[in-house]
C-alpha cells in the first residue's frame, strides 16, 4: 500500500471536511432554532462566492479581507431574508418553510443567471498557489488557508454558542422554545440571529472556496446535496454532530474518489446516509432538535 497516497487522501479529506463543516453548521443552526430546512442554502453559498468575485476582482481586496467582507455581506442578506420573509412562518409548518426557502433559492439563482450570466468567473490569488511538499504529500496554500479559516470560524461559533448570552439564547430556544420564552427570551429576535449567523457562515464558506472553483450561479447545487447528507448523518439540528459528520463525509469522499471513482464518491455519501438512517434514524448524535 502506498502510504503517501493514503496520507494525501487523508489530508484532502480533512480539508474538504473542514469546509463542509462551515456549510453544514450553518444549515444545522437554522434548522435547530427555526425548524426550517434551508433549501436556499446552496444559492446562498453561490451568493457568497459571487460577493468574493466582486470584492476581489473589482475592489481588489486581499483573500482574507475579501472572505470576511463576503461573510458579512451574506449575513446582511440573511437578516433581510429573515425580516422580510422567514419570520412570517409559524412553528410546525415544516413544508411551508421548505417551499419558501426553495422559492428564495429560485429567485436568487435565476436572478444571478439572468443578470450576471452563466459564464464562469475566476478569481486569482497568485501568491496563494504555492504548494507545501513533505514526505511525498502536497498541499496547496490556498486550500490550507481555506481550511484554517474554516476551523477558526468554527471555533468562534463554538465559543459564541457556549459562552455568550447571544449563543446560549439560541441553544435554549432550540432545546425548549416554551421554557425559553417563559424566561423572557424573544424567540423572533433569537431566530433572526440564527439565520444571520447561519447564512453568514455559508456565505463565508462560499467566499473562501471561490478561488478554488470557477464561480457560476449553479455552484451551490451539488454542494447542497452534501450539506444535507451531512446534516442528516450528524442528526438534524445537532451542531457538533454536523461538524463531525462533515469530517466523516469529507474523508469518505476523498477516499472513495481516490481509491475508486468519481461515481463511487457521490454514491458513497448517499449510501452512508441511507445505511445510517436505518441504524440510527435520528442520525449519529440526534436526540431531537438540540444544539
Residue at grid coordinates 481516490? 258
Which residues form the interface with other proteins (CB under 8 A)? 31, 37, 85, 88, 94-96, 98-100, 102-107, 109-111, 113-114, 221-222, 224-225, 228-229, 231-232, 236, 261-263, 266-267, 270, 273-274, 277-278, 281-282
Distance separating alpha carbons of residues 200 and 87, to the nearest angstrom: 17
We find the least distance from the C-beta atom of residue 226 to other proteins, in angstroms, to be: 9
CB of 66 to other proteins, least distance (A): 27
CB nearer to other proteins: give 5 or 107. Answer: 107
Smallest distance, Å, CB 136 to other proteins?
Answer: 28
Identity of the residue, 100 or 180, whose beta carbon is nearer to other proteins in the bound complex: 100
Sequence-distant (≥ 6) Cβ neighbours of residue 218 within 8 angstroms: 46, 109, 118
Supply the minimum distance, in Å, between the C-beta of residue 214 and other proteins.
Answer: 16
Q: What whole-number distance in Å separates Cα of residue 222 and Cα of residue 25?
A: 17
Closest approach of other proteins to the CB of residue 68, in Å? 30
Contact predicate 177/288, CB 8 Å: no
CA distance 115 to 24: 28
If the CB atoms of residues 110 and 130 are measured against other proteins, the closer one turns out to be: 110
For the beta carbon of residue 10, count every other beta carbon within 10 angstroms: 15
CB of 229 to other proteins, least distance (A): 6
Between residues 179 and 274, which has the closer beta carbon with respect to other proteins? 274
Count of alpha carbons within 13 Å of 100, Cβ hemisphere only? 17
Nearer to other proteins (CB atom), residue 66 or residue 105:
105
Q: Using an 8 Å Cβ cutoff, are 236 and 285 in contact? A: no
Q: Which lies closer to other proteins via its Cβ, residue 98 or residue 160?
A: 98
- Would you list the DSSP string of 147-159? HHHHHHHHHHHHH
Q: DSSP readout, 157-174?
A: HHHHHHHSHHHHHHHHHH
Amino acid at each position: 500500500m502506498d502510504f503517501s497516497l493514503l496520507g494525501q487522501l487523508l489530508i484532502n479529506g480533512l480539508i474538504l471536511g473542514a469546509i463542509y463543516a462551515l456549510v453544514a453548521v450553518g444549515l444545522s443552526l437554522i434548522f435547530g432554532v427555526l425548524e426550517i430546512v434551508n433549501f436556499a442554502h446552496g444559492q446562498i453559498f453561490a451568493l457568497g462566492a459571487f460577493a468574493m468575485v466582486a470584492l476581489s476582482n473589482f475592489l481588489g481586496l486581499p483573500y482574507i479581507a475579501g472572505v470576511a467582507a463576503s461573510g458579512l455581506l451574506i449575513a446582511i442578506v440573511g437578516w433581510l431574508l429573515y425580516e422580510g420573509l422567514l419570520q412570517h412562518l409559524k412553528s410546525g409548518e415544516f413544508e411551508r418553510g421548505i417551499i419558501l426557502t426553495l422559492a428564495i433559492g429560485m429567485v436568487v439563482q435565476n436572478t444571478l443567471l439572468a443578470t450576471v450570466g452563466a459564464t464562469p468567473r475566476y478569481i486569482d490569488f497568485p501568491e496563494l498557489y504555492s504548494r507545501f511538499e513533505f514526505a511525498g504529500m502536497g498541499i496547496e496554500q490556498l486550500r490550507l488557508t481555506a481550511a484554517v479559516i474554516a476551523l477558526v470560524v468554527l471555533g468562534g461559533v463554538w465559543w459564541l454558542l457556549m459562552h455568550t448570552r447571544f449563543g446560549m439564547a439560541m441553544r435554549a430556544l432550540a432545546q425548549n422554545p416554551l421554557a425559553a420564552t417563559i424566561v423572557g427570551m424573544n424567540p423572533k429576535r433569537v431566530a433572526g440571529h440564527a439565520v444571520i449567523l447561519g447564512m453568514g457562515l455559508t456565505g463565508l464558506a462560499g467566499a473562501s472556496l471561490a478561488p478554488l472553483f470557477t464561480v457560476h450561479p449553479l455552484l451551490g447545487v451539488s454542494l447542497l446535496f452534501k450539506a444535507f447528507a451531512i446534516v442528516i448523518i450528524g442528526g438534524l439540528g445537532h451542531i457538533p454532530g454536523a461538524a463531525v459528520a462533515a469530517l466523516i463525509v469529507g474523508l469518505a469522499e476523498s477516499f472513495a474518489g481516490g481509491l475508486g471513482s468519481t461515481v463511487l464518491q457521490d454514491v458513497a455519501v448517499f449510501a452512508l446516509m441511507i445505511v445510517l438512517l436505518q441504524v440510527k434514524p435520528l442520525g449519529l448524535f440526534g436526540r431531537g432538535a438540540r444544539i
